[in-house]
Chain A
Amino acid sequence: MLLKVENLQAEIDDKQILKGLNLEVKPGEVHAIMGPNGAGKSTLANVLSGRDDYEVTAGSVTFDGEDLLELDADDRARKGVFLAFQYPVEIPGVSNKLFMQTALNAVREERGLPALDMFDFDEFAKAKIELLDMRADLLERSVNVGFSGGEKKRNDIFQMALLEPKLCILDETDSGLDIDALRVVANGVNALRSEDRSFIVVTHYQRLLDYIKPDHVHVLYDGKIVKSGGFELVHELEEHGYDDIIQQHNKD
């Protein structure tokens, strides 16, 4: 088991958002988390990646045998938890190259690997740029500054490719993307799928999932997973919306 979330409860600004969430992710699996607005999807992504604003009030999260909640955000990242942001952040004056070289070397240090110098990093990064079919000038630009929405998301996927994490969490990466950008992101995810890399894809829409074809689909509602299934659940939701599931849940 790569990730085991048990009875997770979390709040922000004294408002409880997660109300006892359970989730198990094995290596190599792709899980989709769907649900209506306000269900707690982004909260789950942020709590797993260690954002300070959220307070975990109960439950446990085990990642690769370790208590994830005990670790700082940067430690979690170094141990292989990656979050693709809903809104990737701009950092003026810092080149993508410096940013990613610093990040990669921090992660490599954790793995007991030697740091990559500028030249090694360039080669490593170029291979990833080709793999993902991205623009070559990506590295020279300041982190996300002046990027379109689609470029920012692609940059996040590129960073994911560089850092080679064990668990990739995509927090509504598909929101605001046109169909071409969506395809690039989906292709990126598919290119990075492997036996020892798992994904949690948080999304509102089925579009991205049509490209990615997750192994498991979960419906999150009111801070809990109320229904789980295979890829077929995506189309069930597409046809009937969340209402049936929500009504069913409220009845129980």
Chain B
Amino acid sequence: MADAQQITELQLQGVQETSQYQEIDDLISKNQHYKEGFVTTTAVETFAKGLNEDVVRAISAKKNEPEWMLEFRLKAFAYWQTLEEPHWAKLNYTPLDYQDYSYYSAPECGSCAGSCDTEQEAENEIDPEVAKAFAELGVPLTGDDSNVAVDAIFDSISVSTTKREDLAELGIIFCSFSEAVQDYPELVQKYIGTVVPHHDNFFAALNSAVASDGTFVYIPEGVRCPIDLSTYFRINEAKTGQFERTILIAEKGSYVSYLEGCSAPARDTYQLHAAVVEVIVHEDAEVKYSTVQNWYPGDEDCEGGILNFVTKRGICEGKNSKLSWTQAETGSAITWKYPSCILKGDNSIGEFYSVALTNRKQQADTGTKMIHIGKNTRSTIISKGLSAGTSENTYRGLVKVLPSAEGARNFTQCDSMLIGDKCGAHTFPYIEAENPTAQLEHEATTSRIGEDQLFYCKQRGISEQDAISMIVNGFCKDVFSELPLEFAQEAEELLAISLEGSVG
């Protein structure tokens, strides 16, 4: 596979006929509506800005954590201090001042995290303003919606986890990360840092030090989780970082579909989001992990948007295990995210389906890593990048086949679509095959929604808005079909909203 080790860059910066796309550009530059951009005013407890060892200790104390968790944090913090912020991605941002952020914020009632044990209690204790915020976002906190169980996270803490009693009957644990540290310390201790070690990278180290809250999911052996589990992340406080830590464990022969959604108010200063997700899939188990990311992208110039630095990784530990990542990334000023699969078990399967949309000055550098270790492991990567406005959209992916991975197979398809002539699409596929039996396929296309396509549609009576949404959704179809139904709908709507203005 000598020629497979190449690094390709497809760079398409429109240079021809500037007037041709003038209309599209004009439309794109119109103001857009980020309907999740409201601010919730409630009594909060927020730490003063700044980060040092005392802050790490204070977070741990606030959460009443056991000694081992504090040690995990301190170890990570010490290591983080030795690191430099990475800038290898195709993202242009000035180094962040980590002392200018607050590392803990919670609605006041929320300080009882860990003691809100039942749904009833939790419901009673949710700050009404917070409950209202989630209601506006369409996130059910009362557990009436029978198809999904929700963990709602507001700034640094989880405010409500629904349906946990129903799930408990099946032995499923679905709670906030903070609660898991209290109630299931042996499970957390067993798995935390095993897939994403604290020394993995700069942002993983930072997360390990100041992890706020997140979700903990445990599916016992042979259990097929009957409903979708879902986490909704909301950053509300200004200048606050959200550092959620999520651990999902699927025991032998189990199945779960997990969804997460994200949003934040419109602020004029950057908000930092550095999450770590670890997924452990045992023998014959299957995990579907879906994300619809709609963090605030910032204003016209992407000032004040969310800076999204996320480390997501799962390990297919056992034989015949399967992990699917599906993501629709439409928000954030900056996205740095590579959900990955370590295919350790023989015959295990890793999948990555992604739609990343950037508009205005948004920048995204996203993709995946598929590490083939076990025999006959298979991975599929379908990535659809959409760039509009003056945004930059990069796919970066690694397919690595280790010598042990006899008969490994990968199929990669990276498609980019440019809307207008001032945006960029880039593809960096890295392929490292160390076993000669590996079969690796890579396909890539770049297309542009051009005046010709739009005119063709309009000449058939289709309005420009419908034409763009039809072309874009057609382009994303392979990925949206992997999302759970409601999420697929939401993702399509999000695309339409994010492209609003690009379509008149």
Q: Does A112 contact B (CB under 8 A)?
A: no
| B461 pairs with A52, CB closer than 8 A | no
A76–B459 Cα gap in the complex (Å)?
8
Question: Please, how many residues of chain A have a CB less than 8 angstroms from a CB on the other chain?
Answer: 34
- Selected from B451, B453, B461, B477, the residue in CB contact (under 8 A) with A91 is B453
Interface centre among A74, A103, A110, A163 (most CB of B within 10 A): A74
Scan B446-487; emit 1 where CB is below 8 A from any A CB, else 0.
010001110111111111101000110111110000000000
| A74 pairs with B461, CB closer than 8 A | yes
| B462 pairs with A102, CB closer than 8 A | yes
| A103 pairs with B462, CB closer than 8 A | yes
A90–B453 Cα gap in the complex (Å)?
7
A201–B459 Cα gap in the complex (Å)?
17
A104–B461 Cα gap in the complex (Å)?
8
Where chain B touches its partner, the secondary structure class is helix
Distance between B446 CB and nearest chain A CB, rounded to angstroms: 11
Q: Does A92 contact B (CB under 8 A)?
A: yes
Distance between A125 CB and nearest chain B CB, rounded to angstroms: 14
Q: Does A60 contact B (CB under 8 A)?
A: no
Q: Does B300 contact A (CB under 8 A)?
A: no
Q: Does B23 contact A (CB under 8 A)?
A: yes
Distance between A200 CB and nearest chain B CB, rounded to angstroms: 14
| A163 pairs with B460, CB closer than 8 A | yes
CB-CB under 8 A from A72, the residues of chain B are 458
| B461 pairs with A93, CB closer than 8 A | no
Q: Which residue of B lies closest to A49 (CB)?
A: B459
Distance between A163 CB and nearest chain B CB, rounded to angstroms: 7
| B474 pairs with A93, CB closer than 8 A | yes
CB-CB under 8 A from B460, the residues of chain A are 77, 99-100, 103, 106, 159, 163
| B466 pairs with A102, CB closer than 8 A | yes
Interface on B for A, CB 8 Å cutoff?
Answer: 23, 445, 447, 451-453, 455-464, 466, 470-471, 473-477
Q: A90-B453, A98-B474, A110-B461 are in contact. List 14 more A-B contacts (CB 8 A).
A: A50-B458, A73-B458, A74-B462, A77-B458, A82-B459, A89-B456, A91-B453, A91-B470, A92-B475, A93-B477, A100-B460, A103-B457, A107-B461, A142-B474
- Could you write out 15 A-B pairs with CB less than 8 Å apart? A72-B458, A73-B458, A74-B458, A77-B459, A78-B461, A85-B459, A91-B471, A92-B474, A93-B475, A94-B470, A99-B470, A102-B462, A103-B460, A103-B462, A107-B461
Closest A-B pairs by Cβ, 6 of them: A93-B474, A94-B474, A103-B460, A77-B461, A89-B456, A106-B461
